[in-house]
Amino acid sequence: MKAYIIAIGDELLTGRTLDYNSHWIAKRLTGLGIEVRRIIVVPDDENEIISAIRDAVNKKDINIIITTGGLGPTPGDITLEAISKALNTKLKLNEKALRMIKDRYEELFKLGYVSSMEMNPSREKMALLPEGAIPFFNPIGVAPGVFLQVAEKKSIISLPGVPSEMMYLLEQILKYVHLESRDIFIKTREITIEVRDESTFAEILSDIRERFLGINIKSYPLGFGKRVFMRVIIIAKGKNPDELDELIQKSIEYLRKKVHETKDNL
């Protein structure tokens, strides 16, 4: 399975807020064997969100589209309205979502966190969902998470922008979604290698990719000068975790051997 993450919010583009959500979602999906193909950030602009949703939906190989942000009660929270327009569906008051929101405000009122538990148009706005969408109760904030099946193997998951709410609701919705990748494992290892010439080291990495099929290996320099260290990350994906561990270990042993053999050049 493949995923497309759309982070929504002006604050992300101005640098006021770090896009922690995309980072966390990508790690979580990767751990489930889901390949994240793209992460984009768009402003709180209806046309931009519509364009991003349509682009993701039109990609045949994308199965899960995840949006974060824009589910709240303010006029700037327009994610669900934009999704509805992108899919040419109606935005309707969802009775189940409305009940969730009412219950949540009653809880918050009893706790003294809000001055009133009465519903108003701003609060009801959070219950306006694209037709066919399924809401998920948010016990941390208020705005429900939203799941929408748009095709046989393509769905949209809309999450709040607050990280704690996003994390909780993603876990709840993923339990509901049938994940074909549950039997796929992704293993990673990270090592540090001292080198002298990154370009020569790159040749060794290319050799490893050709020799060990199924291995994805990347390197990042940690310094420059007489002593240069490379941060090397090895990734393997497959159905047998023990075989993946063995494959990664063999690739590391081969890497160290080649570095040792070429140490005069490196």
The model's pLDDT over 238-253, given as tens digits with 9 standing for 90+, comes to 777 788 888 989 999 9
172: helix, strand or coil: helix
Q: What is the CA radius of gyration of the chain?
A: 23
Among residues of the chain, what percentage have pLDDT more than 90? Answer: 58
Q: What is the mean pLDDT of residues 157-180?
A: 87
The first and second tokens of residue 5, run together, are 């993450």
- Mean pLDDT in residue range 160-169: 94
Q: Is the pLDDT of residue 262 over 80?
A: no
Is residue 249 left, alpha or beta, with left meaning phi > 0 and alpha meaning psi from -120 to 50?
Answer: alpha
Q: What is the DSSP string of 108-150?
A: HHHTTSSS-----HHHHHTTEEETT-EEE--SSSSSPEEEEEE
Residue 139 in tokens: 């016990």
CA distances in angstroms from 54 to 57, 76, 83, 187, 247, listed in the order given: 5, 20, 9, 32, 39
How confident is the model at residue 195, as a pLDDT? Answer: 75
Q: In this structure, are residues 5 and 40 in contact, taking their beta carbons and an 8 Å threshold?
A: yes
Q: Is the pLDDT of residue 56 over 50?
A: yes
Q: How far apart are CA 178 and CA 180, in angstroms?
A: 6
Band the pLDDT of 187: cuts 50, 70, 90: confident
Concatenate the DSSP letters of all residues of 26-82 into one string: HHHHHHTTPEEEEEEEE-S-HHHHHHHHHHHHH-TT--EEEEES--SSSTT--HHHH
Which neighbouring-strand residues pair with 187?
A: 236
Give the whole-number percent of the chain exceeding pLDDT 70: 92
pLDDT band, residue 201 (cuts 50/70/90): confident
What are the residues whose beta carbons fall under 8 Å from the beta carbon of 228, sequence distance 6 or more? Answer: 194, 195, 196, 198, 221, 222
Fill in the amino acid letter for 230. M
Task: Report all structural domains of the chain as residue ranges with CATH numbers, in order of start.
Answer: 2-182 (3.40.980.10), 185-261 (3.30.70.380)
Which range, of 42-46, 51-55, 112-116, averages the lowest pLDDT? 112-116
Separation of alpha carbons 33 and 185, rounded Å: 6
pLDDT of residue 225: 57
